[in-house]
Structure 1
Amino acid sequence: MPTFREYTFRTLLAAGCASAAAAPQPLPGQEITILAVGDIEWSRTTKAPGMYYDAAPAGRSNVLWHRDDGWIRVPYAATPEARDVLEAALDTTLITEEAHHLRAHHYDLSFEDGQEEARYPFHGTADLLRDADIAFANLETPLSDDARWSGAFRTPSAFADALAWAGIDIVATANNHSLDAEGEGLLDTIDHLRRAGVGHAGTGRDLADARRPYIVERGGLRVAFLAYAQFVNDGGSSFATPSQSGVVPMDPLLIREDIARVRDRVDFVAVSFHWGIENSQDVHPGMRAFAHEVLDAGADAILGHHPHVPRGIEVRDGKPIVYSMGNFIFGHGHDYWMDNIAVRLHMGAEGATRLDILPIAGRGDALSQPYLLEGEAARTLLEDIRARSADLGTTVRIEANAGVIDIVR
């Protein structure tokens, strides 16, 4: 079996792949900010596909299949009655990963109309998002009203307008939930984002369409966003092909080509990765090696998400790697989730100059309407991120309720 390193960009470079061209020189003295946040999902209900459970508690083998019986798993319909039965058995049965949807904490909220519901989660952070020159997020749900709901999430299309209202300019749509409403839902998502004026990267009507960068120009500087996913929930059929809509896989061949193709058209290339192990704050050495070679291929920053918890930040040769920002907005919560981070990247003609780490509330009901943390809660999270970043060779200083990384080349 080939090693991870045998699939990295050094191998591709040795094989003769084209190198990135030099960027054009922007006007001197210009500086803009990019605010990046983590996962956004606002379905407010979850639908576990299949609702299969692996083992029954004592005396309940007539209700739930017992692993030792040698019989197939039986499917439970996604109905309130089935949910009640399965929730009652959770403490005494071995169950599959769908259980966390049943155990999720759902918020006690009601709204007058769809617009109020869609805008609600942004009321605590809209000013922060709007103050940035460019605001980026990972959109962890399809936006569709009618497409077949086959995965965990599906969010009404009104949420596209709420993203624009809140000040979000660009979303990554390459993630494991991109096809929770199947192919129709993916195309609905693209259409609703375009209608609302929100850019997207990482999905498309075919592989070529999905690989297109989204380019934003602010203050005389042009920034390209590319997005990729390490995995999808159906095991791979949601990845785009030359003749099929879907998600761009985290394929190093594609990444190198995409960076090289856009490098000479822009001043800054930001690469979004949906990657890593859920609910783990550890950074695998292979993840670091992969990130380093993406930067060596011409990217200027990596914006990571998926783990649902924040991780340390690394700066390599003046280029930041944000391994995970954690959650930002979610339609439900879990007791094992924690507070999260946003990052504000300052960049000028020569690239990134400073990175601010902003602590974002994420415990309890906070994911329904997050806000900037202050005081002891902010300090606790920032101290953790500082320690984890130090393990990656990066120094973070804490100023009031924010962390600061001075980027020196």
Structure 2
Amino acid sequence: MAANVIIAGDCGPAHGPKDGFPVSGYIDLIVPTLQAADFRLVNCMRTYSTNAAESSDAPQVAQPVEMAELYTQAGFDGITMANNHAFDAGPQAMIDTVDLFRAPGIQVTGAGRNFADASQPVIMEKEGLRIAYLGCTSLGKSDGSAGSTTPGVLNVSINTSYEHRGPHAPVRILTNPDQTELAKLLVVVRNLRPSVDRLIVAFHSGVIRVPRVISDYQVTVAHALIDAGADLIVCHAPHIPKGIEVYKGKVIFYSIGVFAMTKPFAAPSWSEPAWSHGAIRNHMDLDPNYPFMPYGTDSRFALLAKAGFAKDTATRVSFLPVFFDQTYKPQALEAGDPRFTEVVEYIEWASVDMPHTFTVAGNEVVVTA
């Protein structure tokens, strides 16, 4: 009794057939890798509805319904919609998207008509082995957290404070999860855990675009989820890969990057002083070869997290290095490819001071303590 699960990151191209990008084109290089797994999971960053409200901040979120064919063509079994964009086009567009995925049998977690609905996990079963996938976020809109009778996402909000250390030192930014909301999430995890053999939590969180930096709250929440019973934590949101930690024998991916994403414009932050004066640009600029993936040079590669689950043995966790070509197609790399080494070395750099060991095994990188 064993099952392999592949978990992909942020997904939702904003360019379709009218722009010269066939929907199926985004996945034709990666489909063989996905099909080799028993189950496939991903984070949906868009809404697909005819009832979308206009959003001046993120107009790319509201996509035509036909763009959702990417998820069925890729064969995804489960989708998390617990993220910062699920509510951008309004609650009805979010609910329409949940229903659109569920209609052909794709399970959705992390968003729904109310807290109970948003807290429902994806359940995968193979030969008596039950695996759950639960989506949550710390980046939900202020009015977009699911309530007892209101739609939204499964959200844990974050409190931010600043420690001033004088004019000679940078201000320290302190971030902590709201304890009441975190407690509610942990109750969901504890109640779910006895009914499944393994539990994956997708935690949409983290500092976007800036390499290596992991926020205090991410560590706090990820550790608490494992203490409550989670077997694997997979984070996304920064749009670039970040470090990997092994905590109490369980693996935490602090960001696996994007899976298939495009956007027609760069974030306004690139015109802010921190970028234009070079304080952050020195570490990450926009890549002119990827004008429709304007998340920084490090977004040109990503990870697929992979878990091998069995009833009576320890979980085998690994990652598959992925690179994007200039038509925004992700492709899993082979170990002999120089880009494979580039990704592994980058993740080693991003994981400094975190407990971990990486071992190349075939075309995967196995993660152990």
The TM-score range, normalised by the shorter chain, is: 0.7 to 0.9
Residue 403 in 1 paired to residue 311 in 2?
no
Q: Does 1:31 align with 2:2?
A: yes
Q: What are the residue-to-residue correspondences of 1:145-160 with 2, within 5 Å?
A: 145-150=50-55, 151-152=58-59, 153-160=61-68
TM-score, length basis structure 1:
0.71
Q: Which residue of 2 aligns with 1:324?
A: 255
CA distance in 1: counterparts of 2:146 and 2:234, whole angstroms = 21
User: Can you list the C-alpha shifts for 1:332-391, whole angstroms capped at 9, x where unaligned?
Assistant: 3125333111111111114643222211113x635x321123411110111121343352
How far 1:285 moved relative to its partner? 4.1
Q: Select which of 11, 22, 27 maps to 1:40.
A: 11
SS in 2 for 1:396: strand
Question: 2:134 aligns to what?
Answer: 226
State whether residues 213 and 224 of structure 1, in contact with CA within 8 Å, keep that contact through their aligned partners in structure 2: yes
User: What is the CA distance between 1:194 and its match in structure 2?
Assistant: 0.7
Q: Find the residue that maps to 1:243 and give its secondary structure.
A: coil
Distance 1:240 1:305, change over 3 A: same
Distance 1:405 1:249, change over 3 A: same
Q: List runs of 5+ in structure 2 lacking aligned partners.
A: 157-180, 263-291
1:315 Cα shift? Answer: 1.8
Aligned partners of 1:319 and 1:352 also within 8 Å: no
Distance (whole Å) between structure 1 residues aligned to residue 350 and residue 18 of structure 2: 35
The match for 2:275 is none
Give the unaligned 5+ runs of structure 1.
1-29, 46-106, 112-116
Q: Deviations over 1:240-287 (max 9, x none)?
A: 112211111123112211112111111011111110110132223442
Distance, in Å, in 2 between the alignment partners of 1:131 and 1:138 is: 19
Tell me by how many angstroms 1:32 deviates: 1.1
Q: How many residues align?
A: 308
Alignment of 1:4-403 (within 5 A): 30-44=1-15, 109-110=19-20, 117-150=22-55, 151-152=58-59, 153-232=61-140, 234=141, 236-250=142-156, 251-280=181-210, 281-331=212-262, 332-334=292-294, 335-336=296-297, 337-350=299-312, 352-362=314-324, 365-366=326-327, 368-374=328-334, 375-399=337-361, 401-403=363-365
State the alpha-carbon separation in 1 of the partners of residues 253 and 321 from structure 2: 14
Over alpha carbons, which structure has the higher Rg? 1
Q: Judging changes above 3 Å, is the alpha-carbon distance between structure 1 residues 324 and 156 closer, same or farther for their aligned structure 2 residues?
A: same
CA contact (8 A) 1:359 1:402 kept: yes
Q: Against the structure 1 CA distance between its residues 380 and 108, is the aligned structure 2 distance closer, same or farther, given a 3 Å change threshold?
A: farther
Provide the TM-score with structure 2 as the length reference. Answer: 0.78
- For residue 73 of structure 1, what is the aligned residue in structure 2? none
Contact 1:130 1:168 in 2 (8 A): no
Q: What CA RMSD, in Å, does the superposition of the two structures yield over aligned residues?
A: 2.1
* CA distance in 2: counterparts of 1:392 and 1:108, whole angstroms: 45
Is the CA contact (8 Å cut-off) linking 2:356 and 2:368 kept in structure 1? Answer: no
Determine the C-alpha separation between the residues in 2 that align with 1:188 and 1:255. 24
Q: Which has the higher contact order (CA 8 A, sep 6+)?
A: 1
Shift of 1:148: 2.3
Give the conservation status (yes or no) of the 8 Å contact 2:3–2:38: yes
Q: Distance in 1 between matches of 2:362 and 2:102?
A: 38
Q: Give the stretch that moved more between structures: 206-215 or 31-40.
A: 206-215
